[in-house]
Structure 1
């Protein structure tokens, strides 16, 4: 593998989704203060969403809408196998349906809980306001102008050049340890992620994206104040904040750190920006063994080692 080898970027894609929402706000298509019902309220399933009538766009961006995360629900994990081929076209409403009728985790705006379901809804909002697939909006505003040619939609199991991913035995999704066949074709369909992630990328592209995004150069208008307007994650997170699709670590041995991680079966990704040093670091691993179950400190150790190396070279 090389820094140009494609892997699934998983939840780092949320930074693209959030940046697209901020761009649409600047273009006058929406406001973060708008209620979700203004865009999706006419959908037949909408009323069954937890906190349906009170959720705002901003709360979805910050994971403060009180929505459960469908990815961790047993019903979704048991049904995961149905999304294992291109023939079974994913309808994002299927993902939203797993939380329909459930109780909210808390009243919208009063707590924090990470929710891929919330970003699925943001993808639908983007499509409602633009009339295009949400990934097309990301491509037009960011991937194309920034020449991120290694970043493409992970919209099917056949992703050319993708590094083979490896996961752990007896994983809750029922995947084999090697998650691709002999030709490199995934044995499941990553389109199931929708706007909870949604991209295959490379370490090079992720580092370039983070550097441009966090230096305020990804869009032709000021946006960092909105991107980094963070809310407290939880009392046990030791001061970690979550902005618009971005995790914020205000105090670390290397100063503040901004970025996002990504996990999807067989792949782990990390994107970190160190604003006091002007350094951005990204890497990807084609295995989640020991990482998804928190039995290994490998990712944090690599983050620290690469950060120290990059910072020393930047002096």
Structure 2
């Protein structure tokens, strides 16, 4: 359990503050069918200390949507099942797909060094495209590097009062990469595995260099418009949130006192393409199903995406190129995923290998001193197995 919780924190869902415990509304489900087992699990996330949850499942029984908890503190209204939310590190999968589309077109090779394309950044000349997408580059994580002995080398502020005071500050992607390059590498390129947000920021800059377009424009042109993902965007430094949405909250300590603020509006440029995107459970479902069923990448690159690194085990399985592969065991099989978290938010995105069965969700935090983190791995495992194992 300790190992998985550390991995969970590293990936970013630590940023979810503890949630509302009282005044929890009864979960709602889509009309026409009842899935009491899913409603019960959604409620378990709320009981664990999260504030709100939107849940969408598509399987052999059709599509089901539901929500639990509250949309806003002080209200009894439930989160909208079509609500927008910040998807956090789920953004990494979109970025990886963009890069692999460029690889498919012959713009660059998976094992091509990237420094020659981005000479202004001072990258190690041995770092390749594959290393960026698989987190084997050794680049320091600009949001702070977690070491095996439990120590942390700080990066830019992303938590506590320091982040609260700077939550509308704008960072440029190049600024984040230069900070990382100024620090000693975690290991020689290709010599290990370490989850680093900086890898995906470099991948963003590589997309822009190869395409000649801003990242958001290329994302729109290659993925969002073809799949009609009208509720998904890469906001850059925009701090807004399209309606409808459930509010997200952040609990932090200031001068010995605990405070809670609404962080629905925040500038996500500190995480850039490693975690800044906004979407809905419906759009994430459409996207991830299309990806896994081969609509966005050729078969050879889907195989590369699913080839995992042996040193990358975490709560979500083993990491490939921009996604996790998790073997649930006999009777369940393999699921692909990339979950994420940002201050106040968490997201879930799962699919069967053929894209036919999916699970997508948003989790928002509230205003409770109860820490939901210890209960999260168990609740997540139960949810995933209920959907993909029929148990």
User: With structure 2 as the length reference, what TM-score do the two structures score?
Assistant: 0.68
Query: 2:103–2:109: 8 Å Cα contact kept in structure 1?
Result: yes
- Deviates most, 237-246 or 73-82: 73-82
Deviation of 1:5 (Å): 0.1
Distance 1:309 1:23, change over 3 A: closer
Deviations 1:257-292 (A, max 9, x none): 2111101000000111233894110101112889xx
CA shift at 1:241, angstroms?
2.1
| Between 104-113 and 146-155, the greater mean CA deviation after superposition | 146-155
Q: 1:267 aligns with which of 345, 354, 362?
A: 345
For the 8 Å contact 1:281–1:307, the answer to whether it is kept is no
**Contact preservation (8 Å) 1:255, 1:276:** no
Contact 1:4 1:150 in 2 (8 A): no
Q: Aligned-pair distance for 1:178?
A: 2.6
- Shift of the 124–75 alpha-carbon distance from structure 1 to 2, 3 Å rule, reads same
Q: Distance in 1 between matches of 2:269 and 2:107?
A: 26
1:163: how far off? 2.5
Query: 1:160: which partner in 2?
Result: 242
**Gap change, CA 1:170 and 1:201, over 3 Å in 2:** same
Q: In the alignment, does 2:306 pair up with 1:228?
A: yes
CA distance in 2, matches of 1:299, 1:144: 35
Counterpart for residue 76 of structure 1: 156
Q: Kindly report which structure 2 residues correspond to 1:21-170, keeping only aligned pairs within 5 A, or say none.
A: 21-41=99-119, 43=120, 46-47=121-122, 49=123, 52-72=124-144, 73-77=153-157, 80=163, 83-85=166-168, 88-155=169-236, 156-161=238-243, 162-170=245-253
Asked if the contact 1:66–1:112 (Cα under 8 Å) also holds between the matched residues in 2, the reply is yes
**Which structure shows the higher strand fraction?**
2
The answer for the alignment partner of 1:6 in structure 2 is: 84
Once residues 32 and 176 of structure 1 are traced to their aligned partners in structure 2, the CA distance between those partners, rounded to angstroms, is 46
CA RMSD of aligned residues (A): 3.0
Q: Note the alpha carbon deviations across 1:81-139, whole angstroms, 9 max, x for none.
A: 67533xx5431122113223221111111100000011100000111111111121111
- Structure with max Cα Rg: 2
Distance 1:19 1:135 in 2: 14
Classify 1:300/1:239 alpha carbon distance in 2 versus 1 (closer, same or farther; 3 Å): closer
1: CA distance between counterparts of 2:316 and 2:261?
37
Tell me: CA distance 1:298–1:280, structure 2 relative to 1, closer, same or farther (3 Å).
same
> Kindly tell me: are residues 233 and 165 of structure 1, through their superposed partners in 2, closer, same or farther at Cα, counting changes over 3 Å?
farther
Please report how far the alpha carbon of residue 218 of structure 1 lies from its aligned counterpart in structure 2 after TM superposition: 2.5
Structure 2 gap segments, 5+ residues each: 1-78, 145-152
Matches of 1:97 and 1:83, distance apart in 2: 19
Alignment equivalent of 1:250, drawn from 308, 327, 338: 327
Q: Offset of 1:307 from its aligned partner?
A: 4.7
Unaligned residue ranges in structure 1 (runs of 5+): none
SS at match of 1:248: strand
- Give the drift of 1:252: 3.6
Q: 1:212 aligns with which of 290, 313, 336?
A: 290
Whole-Å separation in 2 of the counterparts to 1:302 and 1:289: 21
Residues 316 and 324 in structure 2, CA contact (< 8 A), matched pair in contact too: no
Deviations 1:227-250 (A, max 9, x none): 21221234x649932111101113
Secondary structure of residue in 1 paired with 2:94: helix
Q: 1:221 to 1:252 in 2, by over 3 A?
A: closer
Match of 1:241 among 305, 314, 318: 318
Once the 2 structures are TM-superposed, how far is the Cα of residue 304 of structure 1 from its aligned partner? 2.8
SS at match of 1:308: helix
